[in-house]
A and B are shown apart, each in its own frame.
Chain A
């Protein structure tokens, strides 16, 4: 097992062992064993599909609490653009930012502003690298993880630009550290996240000693507090610096609108993303420059840790994006400086996106081939109903599990029934046979023995 941290986890006592999550998991990472779901850490992308599909609320996401603010001398909230979409279109982002300060943060740095930086760095990257097409945005951590585990050949198609969150974290720490004369490590940056995959990303980065972002707090956990503070009318000091385009990144299509390319695809929902990646993998879509792919339907506003209906939140976000459409993201000097830094690789995250294939049957190719052959044989023996009652998502997955020694063929209820039937017939036949001493057996031998 890998020591990989995952935000998404199972609450054992709530799990009833139904098959809903195993059927919906895009990387077939879940099995039900002994009546409980088990998540395979190597395959899980933290996309949150299982959180959404579990009727028993047995899947949850580990996030940080506001308690963690105490660990730092100075704290900065990094609110996702999706946070703005949680409130009405008339709620000024400045008031949302003021509410965060009110809740205990010393300062805020909008991830929408980080998105402005990512926009610039993405444009810069695409204009200087024309050898691979289509290029795929790496802003959605679940999509990045999906590519790492299931489409490792497409790593080269990922745009190795830091996500808006990381850009925001880097710039927030850097600026404040300079301004206050304290070490960057004494400044705690906390992403206000719509998404469990971001929590995983943050924890994994911290494990590697990379601390642009120190923690992630779910939107759902701060929503109530912010709403309460917004209930009474009022104004707030101007803190918003993000452009409308940067805010738009929180919904599907926003990223591409900001980057502004002509040959693009916008795809949302992890199952649809897989369909598109399958096409890219077989060499199609080479005429497309840019793919904006997001694991959640509607983009980040559809994350598993948000409160509002994603479609309504998306409308709110679009209205805000329009309202601040004329706001330039940067002054000329800022733009020049950021472009220089982007060229120098300051927002490059290639080292974070190595392939981690999670589907191979064996480290030895020959052994893997014989296992694959066995799978083909086993799958022919299974009923092909893909019912999931065995705890594997479909018959082929059960065949794989059997060959890997993780399941047995009688886990299939139909196979079990067949075996019970054979056994019952044998029992019946045996029951008809009486011991000879009771008279019904074969008669005494003629020769008298």
Chain B
């Protein structure tokens, strides 16, 4: 199944709503709690990155019996140096965002850490696309 959520840059009031939708779906599908949590963290961090840095974007999540794919595509400033952005603690989030407790420089590193496959592409001045895959432990019935 596919879930698509529009995410608006700078809208901190609605931030987390897309991830909440994803979480509800994962609960219903019955993905095991630990995998569901990894997917929730990844989706949330991807959503927050759009809210913090981009002007708008789409978070799309595909859930199938063997994997969860999370894709975040945004229109925004893009990332000039991806390897720098991937470092823990590195952040370009403005002060007012950090005051809200976001932008600690853990977003991208966490997205990579909690996913089994991680791919990022970015064009400065245009936007960023992140693709992540989380494998489900095993197919079929859960106990």
The residue in A283, A361, A364, A373 that gathers the most chain B C-beta atoms within 10 A of its C-beta is A283
In the bound complex, residues from chain B placing their C-beta under 8 Å from that of A370 are 1
A379 to B: closest C-beta gap in Å: 11
Is A357 a contact partner of B37 (Cβ separation < 8 A)? no
Interchain CB contact (< 8 A) of A361 among B28, B36, B37, B44: B28
In the bound complex, residues from chain A placing their C-beta under 8 Å from that of B63 are 369, 372
Is A369 a contact partner of B64 (Cβ separation < 8 A)? yes
- The bracket for how many chain A residues form the interface is 20 to 34
Is B140 a contact partner of A364 (Cβ separation < 8 A)? yes
The residue in B1, B29, B36 that gathers the most chain A C-beta atoms within 10 A of its C-beta is B29
> With the chains together, A321 CA to B23 CA distance in Å?
41
- The bracket for how many chain B residues form the interface is 20 to 34
In the bound complex, residues from chain A placing their C-beta under 8 Å from that of B24 are 359
> With the chains together, A368 CA to B63 CA distance in Å?
11
Is A360 a contact partner of B30 (Cβ separation < 8 A)? yes
B112 to A: closest C-beta gap in Å: 13
Is A153 a contact partner of B1 (Cβ separation < 8 A)? no
Q: Is A381 an interface residue (CB 8 A)?
A: no
Is A283 a contact partner of B41 (Cβ separation < 8 A)? yes
Known A-B contacts A153-B36, A281-B40, A283-B44; A363 and B29 likewise in contact (beta carbons under 8 Å): no
A258 to B: closest C-beta gap in Å: 27
B41 (CB) vs chain A CBs: closest residue: A283
Is A278 a contact partner of B29 (Cβ separation < 8 A)? no
Q: Is B91 an interface residue (CB 8 A)?
A: no
Q: Is B94 an interface residue (CB 8 A)?
A: no
Is B141 a contact partner of A364 (Cβ separation < 8 A)? yes
Q: Is B99 an interface residue (CB 8 A)?
A: no
Is B142 a contact partner of A150 (Cβ separation < 8 A)? no
A393 to B: closest C-beta gap in Å: 13
Q: A361-B28, A369-B64 are in contact. List 17 more A-B contacts (CB 8 A).
A: A152-B33, A153-B36, A283-B41, A283-B110, A357-B33, A359-B27, A364-B140, A364-B141, A365-B31, A365-B140, A365-B141, A366-B139, A368-B28, A368-B30, A372-B1, A372-B28, A372-B63
Ordered by A's residue number, 14 sampled pairs between the chains whose C-beta atoms are within 8 Å are A278-B16, A281-B37, A281-B41, A282-B45, A283-B44, A355-B33, A359-B24, A360-B27, A365-B30, A365-B139, A369-B1, A369-B29, A370-B1, A372-B1
Chain B residues within 8 Å of A, Cβ to Cβ:
1, 3, 16, 19-20, 23-25, 27-31, 33-34, 36-37, 40-41, 44-45, 63-65, 101, 110, 114, 136, 139-142
